[in-house]
Structure 1
Amino acid sequence: MRIFLQIILITIALNCTGQIFNLETEFQPSFLPGSNLILQDDGKQCFLDLKGETFSEHCIITDLQLVDIKSFLNHYQFKIKVNNDTLGTITKIENGDTITSYLRSMGTDGIGVNGKLIRDNLTKKFKFWSPNKGTANDSLIVLLFKLMNRNLKEAKTVNYLEQLKQYFRFELGLKKLSDSPLTYKLYGSITAHEEDELNTFFKSLPLDSVLYFDMSNFDSMGTMFYPTFRALCERNKNIYWLNCSAGALKQLNEIGISPSRIR
């Protein structure tokens, strides 16, 4: 079944050969500089471009990498919403008239996303605010991050994407950097939403191996996690914290991590 679906998606992409595809997306996070993403297929070449205040990265990609996003946008409902997302509706009848009220999620400390798709001389625009997990807008963001994470490799760009990712409802800011020596990177902030994931991850770590954590792009965590970090360091005396940001260094000191383990 998977192979059959892949064939269908590839067929769709091939049918679009020669058609102009240009997707521009602007990210406007509340407490992080904004950025602009461009995905383009002019029928001859495909590229991905991301620009921000302190970085700019351009890379050539294959047309097959755009298959999923093109297929998704064929059915995506392009809408303009300012600083809110519709959560649901309440319908009631008053004086014989049907009245529909829209439940919305409002905010000033999230992220605004807006953009436009140019396809075969047709332009469609979209705009939304901090999408809820499982919505179509959330699915769009997941696809965009999949493309960016796969192709953008420069250090400044990667660090920015890690921070930008915190504005969406993804998982714990964690990635494996190396198997030998075993090295992970913790980035962004850890909140109550990631508590279970953090506990599961820490429990999965070996107790008798040297472990390294890159903390160069770490922001903060609630003090509720201090006992969890202390317990991890008690179980394994060979854990070292590398390239600590100011926030990471402050909190590791508050936790009581030995200075000899902070490098």
Structure 2
Amino acid sequence: MYNFDFVKPSTIAEATAALAAEGAQAISGGQTLTPTLKQRLAQPAVLVSLTGIAEMKGVCLGDGGLSVGAATPHAVVAAEAAKHYPALAALAGGIGDPAVRNRGTIGGSIANNDPSACYPAAVLGSGATVITNRRRIAADDYFTGLFSTALDEGEIVTEVRFPIPQKAAYVKFNQPASRFALTGVFVAKYADGVRVAVTGASNGGVFRWSEAEAALSRNFSPAALDGLSVDAADMIHDLHGTPAYRANLVKVLTKRAVAAAG
């Protein structure tokens, strides 16, 4: 580690002001940033903790769907979203281990946008709205690539608002050591169609499988996917799986998610 200042604001306005300082970096649950600091891959002069901001915590149901504060730990989402959005609760309850679920936050996860993280699939698959200290961003516009988002410098995620679907499920194939998704698929059926979001598979990060969405919007059943295949050209290739393996997993897991949802 190295020397840095630590600030823990109690309001979004205070956090925004603190992040305006030179070399300031926001930290939420710290599940990604803390190891990065230990390795000195990041060396901010000021760490601005978001965990003391009460207005960024909690899960509540409103006219716009299910609102989740960005500083809400995964374990709280798993418990409090279960009644209203079981698929989202199940996803949160399957992240990491108990230590990670009690420290990691939804805002930290989607701000980091790890290509194998689970929450980006839920946000994109639900067509959620990401609310920041400056604006509202549709999920389709928020994720821009590997570890990349539409967030500007000093902009922080304060809330995520999920429209509640008629049916939904998330299925992932775990990487055994990290418990990140080797591949994960979130399927959500709404009155105007089906959304399918895939994480862990593509070099470009989380993405929507549009061909599957069209087929499932016509017939919401695993059989609707029988004639489809996933292009392996841009899939991740590492020691855990080839691009072809991941492409096949996308189809297999989408079928399982549809079966679980239906």
TM-score by length of 2: 0.29
The structure whose residues are more often strand, as a share, is 1
Q: Which has the larger radius of gyration?
A: 1
Tell me which of the two structures has the higher relative contact order, counting C-alpha pairs closer than 8 angstroms and 6 or more residues apart: 2
> What's the TM-score once normalised by structure 1's chain length?
0.28
